[in-house]
Each structure stands twice: as C-alpha cells, then as structure tokens.
Amino acid sequence: MSSQEFFYRYSCAMNIPLRNQPRVVIVGGGFGGLELAKALRDAPVQVVLIDKNNYHTFQPLLYQVATAGLEADSIAYPIRKIFKRQRNFHFRWGEVKEIDPAQNVLRASIGELTYDYLVIATGATTNYFGMEAIARHAMPMKTVTEALNLRSLILQNFEQALLTENVREQEALMTFAVVGGGPTGVELAGALCELKKHVLPNDYPELDFRKMRVLLIESGGEILQSMSEVNQVRAKKYLEELGCEVWLHSKVADYDGDAVQFQNGKMLYTKNLIWAAGIRGLYIAGLRPEAVDKRGRYLVNAYCQITGYERLYAIGDVACMITDKYPNGHPQVAPVAIQMAHTVAENIVRELKGLPPKMFVYRDRGSMATVGRNRAVVEAFQIRFGGFAGWFVWMALHLMLLVGFRNKVIVFINWLWNYMNYDRNIRLIIRPYFRNTR
C-alpha cells in the first residue's frame, strides 16, 4: 500500500477527518450508545457513532404508538440534533455488516472505518426461538416501523370485521393475543383493553365489542417475573379488571396466521398474534464464535470488554456479563446500558491516562410497568406500590427520560388529552400493512 493510499484509507473513510486522537467508534444509537457518546464529550478522543436509523427511539413507549396513543415522531429524536454542540462527535447513517478485529476495521453499508476503540451497542431484536412460522405471521414490536405496522393492522382488521359475514372470521379479527408476560406484553395488553373499553366502540358502533378479546399469554406461572410476587398479583388483577384474559402456563407451539396452536393441544383463532416473548442480541459478524452466547449476546468481562479482545466493548442488551448475582447476564433494560456506557467511557479515559480500569457494578434502582389508566406497579428502593401513585411515578419518569424538550411537551399534552377525553386521536392508517410484504 502506497503512502497516498494509506492516507486516503485511514483519513477519508466515511469522509471522517483524521485527527491526532484515538478514534472511538460506537455502533448503535440506543440508550447505551447515546450515553457513551455524551460521556466522552470532553475526552481527548474522536467519537464516531454509526446507526442504521438517523434517530434515537424511546422504546418504552413503542406500545403507545402501536395503540394510537402517540405519534411516532413524539418518541423519536434526530441523533445529529442531540450532538449538534459536541465538537468531537461525528455521525454516519449506515448499517455495520462485519468487524475485522485483526485490522481494527469495521465494514458497513457505507464503507470501511478504522477504530482504536470499538463499542457495540446494537441492542436487541425479537427472539422467535427458531419458530419460523411464528416469525413469518406474528407481529413484533421492537422498532418504530413495527409499531406503525401493528397500528395499521389493528385498525385494518376492524375495518375488515365490518365487511365479513363469517362469525368465526369476525371473532378472529377482533381477538388480540399478546405473547409474553414481561413489561412490554403487560403494557400492550392493558392499552388494547383501554381501546376496547373507551375508543373503538365509538368508531365501530356496528360491531359487537363483546366479541373483542384481549389475551396475555405467558408460558410461565406468573407475569412480570422480575418483580415481587405482590406486584405480579397486583398487575394480573389490574389486567383482569380491564377485561384481559391472562393465560399462564400456556406455551405457543405454532401459528399460521389464523390459529395459534399451543403445546397442550389448545387452539386459539386470531388474526392478531403479537410477539413480545423474548429478545436476542443484534450481534455483528466477524468475532470468534466463542465470544457470542446462544442468545446472540457478546460475552463480556467485568470491564465490558468482549471476551478475547482488549479494545472491543459491548454494552446494553447485546452484552452478557455473567456474575454471581446475574448468572444469566444483567437485565436487558435501559439503566444497565446507561450505566455500562459510563463505565466504558471512564475506562477509555483512564487507559489514555495510564490508569487501571474500573469494574462495572450495576446499581438496580428498581423497575415499573403500567397496566393502564391509573394502574401501574412500581418497585424502587425496596418500596413496592401501585395504583394511581405508581401510574403517576411511571409517567413522570418516562417524561424525564424522553430525549428532546419538544417530545416531552407533545407526549405530556397527548397524555393529558387522552386522560381527560378517554380518546386517542391518532387512529390513522397512513401506510396499510400487508403481511406478505414483511
């Protein structure tokens, strides 16, 4: 390689200028990736963030987009705007395809880029546990696009229910099965019940809403397994008060788009199977197979370094740090990603100063889930509570965590309007969804 070719490759890759500073490349603009880039604001490094979207998604509120409570742009925020005043920051819109650790190069849809430190913060995607039919016919909800698809499908199926004269088909169109009893499944099931109770009967007075069913299906013996028993019971009670059928010990075996087959032989006819039963890490090809676990997460040490590599890190949902307290890795939630980001940022700076790294220690500040209007469960600082107080705390925290003042205001106004009027104004089929296009 000539000196001219060397300079071009290492200075102009992705049109990012060469600086006399170490380059930290972050893959993924989720909670962890954003927090890491912010934490390196004043560090003597060049920060490059690459993401396949040019916006950050506030994933905890995706279910409200899917159920017409919020518009998509109220939970998404442009990455470039977040960092417009950070001088050492560069953003590139593209998808990373492969890592070459031998040459410290990553290959993306927009070209190659060298790095001194690489941090993978790609998050997670839906885990169908190898069931191809369910992957083909069920509805996931991990991205803005998927949430909008689900919103369109819900409304389209009610439009179709008006047209059919087949009773079983109409009931299937009006039956919603949410698989997975974690926070996402619980919150989505609660929101669908509120649509049934307050909104959809006004839009479709010709339909008999006694035929509409919302089911929360969980393979285990309880919902919200990460919470205390008192809040598990409380959340189940809230759901049943809203009219949700909670099926425990019910493991889905197959789904063909018309009927759900359970392992115990049970059948459920529905055109709406929403899969919230698990996630797997969005790992990138190129590293040794032993560095990735069976759930697609990178195995990392106590410093968030990927096993077998020194300057390669993974944080958040795509990282698996095995400890005595967390033998299966830390919870795949935003606080873990944010705290890991701060540890990695601090350790990069400490290495540049010749200091030893600090170990990551997760500080669990609690968890929460909302079930619907005036109903939520909260666990924080060894205090467990629910009802209106829990719901108010849930709303306040989510408003604080939203990125961008505009988004906070829009979400607050939408929530206030929905609370006063029992209404959701964003019942729009802007882009019809067709299963065979996915």
Which residues does the annotation mark as catalytic? 187
Residue reference for tokens 């697609």:
296
CB 275 within 8 A of CB 139: yes
How is residue 397 written in tokens?
Answer: 């925290």
Q: Distance (Å, rounded) from C-alpha 435 to C-alpha 140?
A: 12
Give me the half-sphere count of Cα atoms (radius 13 Å) on the Cβ side of residue 436: 0
Determine the distance from the C-alpha atom of residue 423 to the mean position of all C-alpha atoms in its chain, rounded to a whole number: 26
**DSSP for 185-248?**
HHHHHHHHHHIIIIIHHHH-TTS-GGG-EEEEE-SSSSSSTTS-HHHHHHHHHHHHHTT-EEE-
**DSSP for 83-129?**
TTT-TTEEEEE--EEEEETTTTEEEETTEEEE-SEEEE---EEE--T
First to last CA, the chain: 44
Closest C-alpha to 82, from 91, 72, 94, 92: 91
Residue reference for tokens 């929460």:
368
Which residues of 329-437 form beta strands (DSSP E)? 367-372, 375-380, 383-386
Q: Exposed/middle/buried for 69, CB within 10 Å: 0-12, 13-18, 19+? A: buried
